[in-house]
Structure 1
Amino acid sequence: MEEHGADSWRYRGTVSPRTLPSLRKHLISWLRRRAGDEVGRQADDVVLACWEAMANVLDHAYRGRPGLIDVRARIDEDVLVITIADQGRWESLEEGGGRGRGLRLIQNLVDGLDLRSTGDGTMMTLTWPFPVRRTA
């Protein structure tokens, strides 16, 4: 289910290899409507970080099988906040074994990253200053 508001966007539903491109497209569309056509590289960073986080949910929480995801994007005063939550069980949040580049990539693309894992799932909160500005 997708929800829209002036300062928020939300998708609650299934994540799968088939739904990831659509989620990305809807997030880009909301961000462009909210930030205008002048968004540049930083907006690309937002979308790439979110794509990687959603792909990590599919890969780590659900091991490539469809599962539930809750993606929320909102503007809190002058901060863009995007949370990506799952109800799966990550084998490990540790980096290693030739893997783990996704979390490092996300860290390099965001201003803030909060990653919490509980028995109920994992939630990543990504933050950037808003309005999104061209950085290069």
Structure 2
Amino acid sequence: MDQSKELVELTIPAKAEYVGVVRLAVSGIANRMGFHYDDIEDMKLALAEACTNAVDHAYSGREGQIAVSFFVHDDRLEMKVKDEGNSFDIAAVKQRSGPIENDMPLTAMRERGLGLHLMETLMDRVDIDGDRGVVVTLTKFIDRDEVDHVVDSPTETQSHG
């Protein structure tokens, strides 16, 4: 994997009231990189979900910290959310996620893996390592509106006459 141009690291207490700080950080970094508004909103939501999962499940009520790393590349932003808490079986979470039922309360849907589904929907790539603690890596590629250089531009193909 190529080296990132810049690394921004943030460590927060594993408490819900600090998740907003992480949302602000990704918003600022992604905006500076030139991401579109919708992509920034998607990243804020996915990253907040990863942090909330760590807050809710990692330390089982004990004090703990969540380390969030932002790896800035030319073509993408990679975000790692790492805790040193309880590990989990990713395959089991995916297996029980199943279809979403409209009458199911949100808390039950989140327990069934809705958060994971949400992250996978919003991000280009989601990698989870659950061996010692949990590391969630979220990747979003920059969707720059670049014109394919092979195609002639309309100004070159029109006749002006």
TM-score band by shorter chain is: 0.7 to 0.9
Q: Among 126, 129, 136, which residue is 2:141 paired with?
A: 129
User: What 5-or-longer segments of structure 1 have no aligned partner?
Assistant: 1-5
What percent identity do the matched residue pairs reach?
Answer: 26
1:11 is matched with 10
Instruction: Name which structure has the greater RCO, CA cutoff 8 Å, separation 6+.
Output: 1
Residues 92, 66 of structure 1: CA spacing in aligned structure 2 closer, same or farther, 3 A cutoff? farther
Query: Who wins on radius of gyration, i.e. which is larger?
Result: 2
- Aligned mates of 1:26, 1:128 — CA distance in 2: 15
Normalising by structure 1, we get a TM-score of 0.78
- Residues 89 and 130 in structure 2, CA contact (< 8 A), matched pair in contact too: no
Count of residues paired in the alignment: 125
Can you list the C-alpha shifts for 1:78-111, whole angstroms capped at 9, x where unaligned? 1211111100004554334642110010010111
- Aligned mates of 2:11, 2:115 — CA distance in 1: 22
Q: Which portions of structure 1, spanning 4 or more consecutive aligned residues, are displaced by more than 4 angstroms?
A: none
2:148 is matched with none
- Aligned mates of 1:111, 1:20 — CA distance in 2: 22
Q: Which amino acid is 2:116 matched to?
A: L
User: What 5-or-longer segments of structure 2 have no aligned partner?
Assistant: 97-107, 146-161
RMSD: 2.3
1:77 is matched with 74
2:45 is matched with 48
